Amino acid sequence: MTELSKSSPGGIHKIPHTLRYLLIIIGISLLIHLVCMASADLLVEEAYYWNYAQHLDFSYLDHPPMVALLIKFSTSIFGTTEFSVRITSLICWLLTALFSYKLTRLINPKAAVYAVMLLAILPFFFLQSLVITPDLPLLVCWSASLYCLYRALILNEANYWYVAGIWLGLGMLSKYTIVLLGLATLYYVITVPTARPWLRRKEPYACALIAALLFTPVIYWNATHQWASFLFQSKRRFASTSSIDLHYLVALICIFITPLGVLGLWGLLKKNTLDTINQAVNAKRFLRIFILIPLGL
């Protein structure tokens, strides 16, 4: 990308053409979000989660309570409309973009704005953020957790373990899927030699404890409801993975992250991919592990 700023003869900074086009694309995407959120009727799933918000509880059969809390918050301020039910989905998208930008800047500063642009246009992220579902707060917590874990594991900033614990706990209140990040973290610490000293330090265990404490309302709800949510999710998970056509899976991946995303994933898996941008081998391992373990499981 060109330089981030250039000065005119009068000393006024001008936005480079590349950055200007990227910002225009992101702005158009946000405008489309606002129009669609205000004009389209609620999906059945959204109405279902709105009903959650009318009966707040520590958890529910098929999901933790975060989506209900977000809808309750927005409708309490703006009233009950399609837009007010969905507005927190846009806030979640903006927070996801922020943490994606910050993480990408740590890895490759020149690619940070492109990361936000991909969030704005890739079908998976674009379509997800038009409606309010548990996936939106999950995306925020996932991106924030990755950012904090990168700073803890790669940059050795111990205090970020505590912040990661908060985001992982909030993620567990959003959707159980974020437990896969915990498994990826454990695998990284065990298999990467430079990360093994963390096993003898308090910060990773404090991270796990913070996440567990934030998750206690859901544990309590399940304990008083015959573990209904945990059983429901585990049975559905196993049932959904009992049989799947590989070509169908590959086609879905190509549609939602586009062939460009598939090409980027393939590039990440190739040897010495990140050497061209002066990334340490541990950064490459971090990216591979934290993508492939959740994707594989």
239 part of a folded domain: no
pLDDT 10s digits, 15-31: 577 778 788 888 888 88
Residues in CB range of 91: below 8 A, 6 or more apart: none
134 part of a folded domain: yes
pLDDT 10s digits, 90-109: 999 999 999 999 999 998 88
CA distance 42 to 244: 30
User: By the 8 A CB rule, do 86 and 244 touch?
Assistant: no
The alpha-carbon radius of gyration of the chain (Å, integer) is 21
Take residue 270 and report the two structure tokens written for it. Answer: 């190739």
58 part of a folded domain: yes
What is the phi/psi pair of residue 279, to 5°? Answer: -95, 140
pLDDT 10s digits, 144-199: 999 999 999 999 999 999 999 999 999 999 999 999 999 999 999 999 998 999 99
* Beta-strand pair 13-14/6-7: antiparallel
pLDDT 10s digits, 243-289: 556 666 666 666 666 666 666 666 666 665 444 444 457 788 898 89
pLDDT 10s digits, 30-54: 888 888 888 888 999 999 999 999 9
Instruction: Report whether pLDDT(60) > 70.
Output: yes
DSSP three-state, residue 14: strand
80 part of a folded domain: yes
237 part of a folded domain: no
Q: What angle do CA 155, 160, 163 make, to 5 degrees?
A: 155
CA distance 192 to 206: 20
Residues of the domain holding 277: 12-226+244-296
Task: Classify 227 in phi/psi space as left (phi over 0), alpha (psi -120 to 50) or beta.
Answer: left
Question: How many percent of the chain have pLDDT more than 70?
Answer: 79
Predicted local confidence at residue 38, as pLDDT: 82
Long-range contacts made by residues 246-249, C-beta under 8 angstroms, separation at least 24? none
Helix H segments across the chain?
17-39, 44-54, 66-78, 82-107, 112-121, 123-128, 135-153, 160-172, 179-191, 202-223, 228-240, 246-269, 281-296
Take residue 248 and report the two structure tokens written for it. Answer: 């169908």
Instruction: Report whether pLDDT(240) > 80.
Output: no
Q: Look up the pTM and report it.
A: 0.85
CA distance 116 to 127: 15
124 part of a folded domain: yes
- Token pair 């009068």 in the structure block, residue: 10
Q: Into how many domains does the chain fold?
A: 1
234 part of a folded domain: no
202 part of a folded domain: yes
pLDDT tier at 133 (50, 70, 90 boundaries)? very high
Question: If you average pLDDT over residues 190-212, what whole number do you get?
Answer: 95
User: By the 8 A CB rule, do 38 and 132 touch?
Assistant: no
Predicted local confidence at residue 285, as pLDDT: 86
